[in-house]
Amino acid sequence: MSWRATVLTLFPEMFPGPLGASLPGKALEKGVWLMETLDIREFARNKHRSVDDTPFGGGAGMVMRPDVVDAALGAVADRPGPVIYLSPRGRKLDQPMARDLADGPGVTLLCGRYEGVDQRVIDSRRIVEVSLGDFVLSGGEPAAMAMIDACVRLLPGAMGSEESLDEESFERGLLEYPHYTRPQAWIDHDGVERVVPEVLTSGHHEKVRQWRRAEAERITAERRPDLWSAYVAAGEEDGN
């Protein structure tokens, strides 16, 4: 069966959006994965189709009603995979999480708006909260798109070259090494000649492999000390 992404949103017209183009779009056309959107507003219980109300205790903004959200979730309760609420409070999305989700049958994503979703439905449905990072978006839809994209590209048949996945950032605990292509010598806008590292044109595959690993390690140590510390610790545990 194809991997399925089910998205609950107040703005179904935002989908597939970027997911309908390039790699995820081609994979969607081939049936590698399926997308389903559900308009939360269809489950509103009054003539005004209200999905939110003022927060108890006062404060700015509005909160999405638990009865409306719960009804929407109930309509897709049989969809495969976990239910995830995109929220700044959640665990950060990383490559291992994306791979775990891609290895499963699919995912149901709840996109919040306004001040968020009533906590009672999150607790009642045991929804997992996931965040893209330490920043706030206007709604969960862009985060849902990013999460789906991160998963889809890991699905069998989605990538043109499955081997390229092994060399990407985070796959081995390191950031990716630099890339170069033609022309071999290039004059930049300041008139400086910039030449491709000689080792990459040597034809010596083992030296190229060693250079790429060394560059990946250097960049990770410089830019992401947290990843580098974890990488070093993992190597020490493995006896390397």
Please report the pLDDT score of residue 95 as a whole number: 94
Flag whether 116 is marked binding: no
How far is C-alpha 144 from the chain's CA centre? Answer: 7
* Residue 31 contacts residue 61 (beta carbons within 8 Å): no
Please report the pLDDT score of residue 167 as a whole number: 58
Mean pLDDT of 113-134: 96
Please report the pLDDT score of residue 61 as a whole number: 93
Whether residue 163 is predicted with pLDDT greater than 60 in this model: the reply is: no
Please report the pLDDT score of residue 46 as a whole number: 83
Flag whether 133 is marked binding: yes
Flag whether 132 is marked binding: yes
Mean pLDDT of 130-152: 96
User: What confidence category does residue 239 fall into, taking pLDDT thresholds of 50, 70 and 90?
Assistant: low
Flag whether 157 is marked binding: no
* Dihedral (CA of 179, 223, 155, 112) sign: negative
pLDDT in tens, 96-123: 999 999 999 999 999 999 999 999 999 9
Whether residue 34 is predicted with pLDDT greater than 70 in this model: the reply is: yes
Mean pLDDT of 27-55: 94
Give all domains of the chain, ordered by start, each with its CATH number.
3-152 (3.40.1280.10), 163-237 (1.10.1270.20)
* CA nearest neighbour of 122 among 5, 4, 8: 8
Whether residue 172 is predicted with pLDDT greater than 90 in this model: the reply is: no
Please report the pLDDT score of residue 114 as a whole number: 92
Mean pLDDT of 64-79: 98
Flag whether 90 is marked binding: no
% of the chain with per-residue pLDDT over 90: 88
User: What confidence category does residue 224 fall into, taking pLDDT thresholds of 50, 70 and 90?
Assistant: very high
Contact partners, residue 33, CB within 8 Å, separation at least 6: 2, 3, 4, 5, 24, 27, 106, 152, 155, 158
Flag whether 174 is marked binding: no
| Sheet with 128-131, side-by-side order of all strands | 33-39, 3-9, 106-110, 83-92, 128-131
Whether residue 1 is predicted with pLDDT greater than 90 in this model: the reply is: no
Tell me the whole-structure pTM to 2 decimals. 0.88
Please report the pLDDT score of residue 162 as a whole number: 59
pLDDT in tens, 146-160: 999 999 999 999 986
Please report the pLDDT score of residue 235 as a whole number: 85
Flag whether 137 is marked binding: yes
Mean pLDDT of 156-183: 79
